[in-house]
Amino acid sequence: MLRIVIAIASDDFGHMLENQLNSEHSVVRCFDGNTALDLLLHLRPDVLLMDLSLPQRDGLSVLERCQDQLPELVIGVTSVTSDDVCRRAETLGITKLFLLPVDSDIFLSQLDVMLSKTTPGALTEDKLRRMIIHQLNKLSFKTNLIGYQQILVGIPLVMQDISIPMCKELYPQIARILNLASSRPIEHTIRTAIQDAWENGDKDLWQRYFPAQANREKPFPSNKQFFTAMANILSLH
């Protein structure tokens, strides 16, 4: 049984979903963004079904406020078709975004497939990836830098083995996963991404994440220091 929050103001659509899911899952329904945020922070559901155009607080704002507590499965519905909304929805952790109006049979069929793959209370690869992206966004990493994708791949590997050797094991594993011809440039590209984020990001936030660097000649962390600190921070969640 999954814990599901339905945050949809539309009576017909929301009521239909509630009736379909109530028999097999624990379902809580709300009608505005403030209540949705409160439910996410306190109930810690496995699944969120949310309209992005909620009253009081819109859906994207709800997601921004609870990035560290997002469920494994986040399904959004919206009548807004702008590219900016779609990009923000993906960045903020929405697993699947449906455009309204949507055919009920198609929606329920796809929903059933996604629910069948969701494990109650589990930290899945997708959820961990969203958590990593959230932390990197907070630190002002640029997604267009080569090192960004390498860091996304590397952090889970370091979480599995905090003492993994960088050059001998971590970089070659990253190269294999990303199908790179060589692991030699990886140290430099990751280093470039870290330095760029430090130079353009919030210095107070960086010093809170990496307090040991505050009084050193090089104020931004080395690759190893960065991976170790991020793995420890994410492990706390």
Give the pLDDT of residue 11: 81
Pick 216 or 132 by higher pLDDT: 132
Q: Please state, in angstroms and rounded to a whole number, the distance separating the CA atoms of residues 149 and 196.
A: 14
CATH 1.10.10.10 is right for the domain spanning 126-235: yes
Pick 5 or 217 by higher pLDDT: 5
The answer to whether residue 214 scores a pLDDT higher than 90 is: no
The answer to whether residue 221 scores a pLDDT higher than 70 is: yes
Question: Which residues 6+ apart lie within 8 Å of 2 measured at CB?
Answer: 25, 26, 45, 46, 47, 115, 118, 120
What number of other Cβ atoms are within 10 A of residue 217's Cβ?
5
- Residue 41 three-state SS: helix
Which strands form 47-51's sheet, in the order they lie side by side? Answer: 26-30, 3-7, 47-51, 73-78, 96-99
Residue 99 CA to its chain's centroid (Å)? 21
Work out the mean pLDDT of the chain and round it to a whole number.
88
Question: Which residues 6+ apart lie within 8 Å of 179 measured at CB?
Answer: none
Domains 3-121 and 126-235 agree in fold: no
Percent of the chain with pLDDT over 90: 52
Query: For 131-151, what is each residue's pLDDT tens digit?
Result: 888 889 989 999 999 999 999
Give the pLDDT of residue 22: 87
Q: Can you give the pTM of this predicted structure? A: 0.59
- Quickly state the pLDDT bin for 27 (edges 50, 70, 90): very high
Query: For 49-93, what is each residue's pLDDT tens digit?
Result: 999 999 999 999 999 888 877 888 999 999 887 888 888 888 888
Domain boundaries of the chain, sorted by first residue: 3-121, 126-235
The answer to whether residue 123 scores a pLDDT higher than 70 is: no
- Quickly state the pLDDT bin for 212 (edges 50, 70, 90): low
State mean pLDDT over 42-55: 90
The answer to whether residue 217 scores a pLDDT higher than 80 is: no
Assigned CATH topology for domain 3-121 = Rossmann fold (3.40.50)
